[in-house]
A = this chain, B = another copy of it.
Amino acid sequence: MAKGSCAILRGAFSRMSQGASNIERYNFHVNKELRARMKGQRPCIVWFTGLSGAGKSTIMNFVEQKLSQQGVHTYALDGDNLRFGLNRDLGFSDADRVENVRRAGEVARLMLDAGLIVLCAFISPFRADRKIVRDAVGPDEFIEVFVDAPLDACMARDPKGLYAKARQGKVRYVTGIDSPYEAPESPEVHLRSIDAPPSVLADRVVEQLKSAGVFGV
């Protein structure tokens, strides 16, 4: 879906140059490095991607609790939650999904700049859009967690009744059904979420973050 992304970006940049003469970047003195030092942690974005029902938010919730118990300052961004606020003007067409992930990525970058460990759970089906977020931050600042579950398992779980609604024709643009999902090629963490309980899978993410020096060093 690079096509969709590029169209959005082209729009963004052309409007940016149109409006750019009105704006100027302000460099505040308190910056990411100072905030990180104050907090004793290395800010990063931990991006959970996978089908609806794969377990992204559940695993992320465990990760956040485990980190919080160690005094790590996190924030959890969740696709559905953002759609009640910042992204409530967006639907589920390919173009709107691209914009959904673009805004999520921008918010994650701001939270990163604020010194936080930013946990993000977004289906984020298109590889090109995840790459835009990754490329926008430093090489050690984006940790992709692929929450991998077969569509059949996700449909059997169906925690939101989404797949049932799709079968009944009540919703469209459901990833895996009538909208594509492009799996990560080399995620930092690959979790097969039917193999172990969410809490155990969360431990694997926490270990990865610790070994990467995100906290506890």
Contacts and interface: CB of A to CB of B under 8 A. Distances in A.
B76 A30 contact: yes
Interface string A165-195: 1000011011000000000000000000000
Interface string A100-122: 00010011011101111000010
A96 to B, nearest CB: 8
A204 interface: no
B111 A111 contact: yes
Interface in A3-60: 8, 11-13, 15-16, 18-19, 21-26, 28-30, 34-35, 38-39, 57, 60
A88 B160 contact: no
Contacts of A13: 88
A113 B75 contact: yes
B75 A110 contact: yes
Given A75-B114, A78-B28, A22 B171 contact: yes
B28 A64 contact: yes
B91 A106 contact: no
Contact of A84 (B18, B21, B25, B103): B25
**8 closest cross-chain pairs (CB), A and B:** A86-B106, A75-B114, A23-B80, A30-B68, A16-B88, A28-B76, A19-B91, A26-B57
A195 to B, nearest CB: 23
A83 B60 CA distance: 30
A89 B38 CA distance: 34
Interface in A60-74: 60-61, 64-65, 68, 71, 73-74
Contacts of A111: 110-111, 114
Given A30-B65, A85-B109, A116-B114, A90 B25 contact: no
Contacts of A113: 75
